[in-house]
Amino acid sequence: MSSLEHARQAIAMARALRAPDRDAVRRIVALAEPHLPEPLPALGPYSLTVLAGQPPLTARERLAVVLEPAAVRVFLPALRDGMLRGVDGRAPASGAPDAIACAEAFRALGDWLGVRRPHPMARMLGLEISRAILARATACSAHVTGLLEQPDYPDLAALSMDLLHLEGLRWLAEVLADTRAQAAIARLSRRLARVTLTRARATMQAFLDQRDLPSLFDNAGVVSQVDNLVVVTLRILDALAEEEEERTAFVPTVDEEALDGFLGTLAELGEALLRMLAAAAGQPGRESFFSSLLRQTECVLRIAAHLDHAARPQRLDDIERRLRTRLTALSAELADRLGEAAAAADADRVPLDRRLAQAGELCAAFERLGLQAEAGTLAVRLRAVRQRITR
């Protein structure tokens, strides 16, 4: 029988041990007895008939005595192997239990075997798993350091994947009640999120300072990774909500400083993009520039809107409200210009078509952002302009 099958049996056994009534005891014995050096006695206090008739606490204690060899030789090692596959990031085999399910069963069986005193084999295997978790977390941290040392804008997709992997490792350590690994991984993941936000902020700030095409490209590369930025920022918000970093009176924590700096630059970036977007509207030769600026503005708004958290700062609401208000005003201004141009007897179709295309892009952005009322209002005005110029 394979290690995967043993892990599945161990998980089923751990679940049955939660409430070891008569039927559960029979299931537990049926799973474990094939792995015992010899079958249970037919008579006496450790026979199946007697075990199945005991109160739950007594049944648990007696089962731990007679089934210990199976748990130690077969089930705990199989659960360890299942967790190590998850820790290493190996693709699970078809039907294999996940690492968290293995961890929950491992802890349950370890607690069951250690009813009177901690079981040495459970402790030894637990230490092996703990070392593997910490080694993998350290490898993630080293990978992040390498990514952040690259001269280009940060690869937020790779960084957020490392962060999610660290959070998975922390969850595994939490299930195993490994407080040492939990604390170490929490520090690593917080540092990763903090440094990533700082690098993202530096890229955005470079665009605000330089306003050239290379910095515009780098900025677009950062703000377009909305989901990844949200993942990183939520990690900081989690840390602040849970007060993972010790506070000093009247002194902001490094997590707070990183978050405040990022949100301040995000707000400044939103304002700058809106000004540039308004300046590019209707201007010849600025069509692709307008589209790029609109996409980046939409991304900034998405970042602010998607950071839904109990510790969500008021500044995010301010950024979201400000961007929506300014985009709505820009759409009204663009529609007014279109109406005036269409009403002119000698209207030039080239600039008129340019503004129509840009207004259409803005309408599509409203729809993607879920601003149906704004999209509907602009669509009605665009339809009226098109009807006027086709008469």
CA 180, 173, 189 angle in degrees (round to 5)?
A: 80
Q: What is the pLDDT of residues 46-65, one digit of tens each?
A: 788 888 888 888 888 888 88
Say how far apart CA 156 and CA 204 lie, in whole Å. 14
Shared domain check, 86 and 208: no
Shared domain check, 3 and 111: yes
Shared domain check, 249 and 129: yes
- The mean predicted confidence, pLDDT, of the chain is 84
285 in any annotated domain: no
Shared domain check, 131 and 264: yes
Shared domain check, 127 and 71: no
Q: Which of 59-68, 91-100, 228-237, 302-311 has the lowest mean pLDDT?
A: 91-100
Q: What is the pLDDT of residues 172-207, one digit of tens each?
A: 999 998 999 999 999 888 888 888 888 889 989 998
Specify the pLDDT at position 117: 64
DSSP 19-64: S--HHHHHHHHHHHGGGSSSPPPSSSTTSHHHHHTS-HHHHHHHHH
DSSP 191-226: HHHHHHHHHHHHHHHHHHHH-SHHHHHHHHHHHT-H
Where does a domain end: 92, 116, 140? 116
Shared domain check, 101 and 158: no
Q: What total number of domains does the chain contain?
A: 2
85 in any annotated domain: yes
284 in any annotated domain: no
Total residues belonging to the chain: 391
153 in any annotated domain: yes
Produce one character per residue of 80-104: b if its CB has 16 or more CB atoms within 10 Å, e if not: bebbbbbbeeeeeeeebbebbbbbb
Is residue 254 scored above 60 in pLDDT?
Answer: yes
283 in any annotated domain: no
Specify the pLDDT at position 345: 46
328 in any annotated domain: no
Shared domain check, 261 and 188: yes
Produce one character per residue of 338-374: b if its CB has 16 or more CB atoms within 10 Å, e if not: beebbeeeeeeeeebebbbebbebbbebbeebebeeb
Where does a domain end: 62, 89, 116? 116
136 in any annotated domain: yes
Shared domain check, 173 and 153: yes
Q: What is the pLDDT of residues 124-160, one digit of tens each?
A: 988 999 999 999 998 888 887 787 777 777 677 888 8
* Mean pLDDT within 343-362: 70
Nearest to 138 by CA among 176, 165, 177: 165
Look up the domain containing 265 and give its range: 119-272
Shared domain check, 127 and 254: yes
Shared domain check, 268 and 123: yes
Specify the pLDDT at position 266: 93
Where does a domain end: 242, 272, 302? 272
pTM for the predicted model, two decimal places: 0.77
Specify the pLDDT at position 349: 64
231: its two tokens: 């993942």
Half-sphere exposure of 33 (CA within 13 A, CB side): 13
223 in any annotated domain: yes
Shared domain check, 256 and 124: yes
Shared domain check, 133 and 19: no
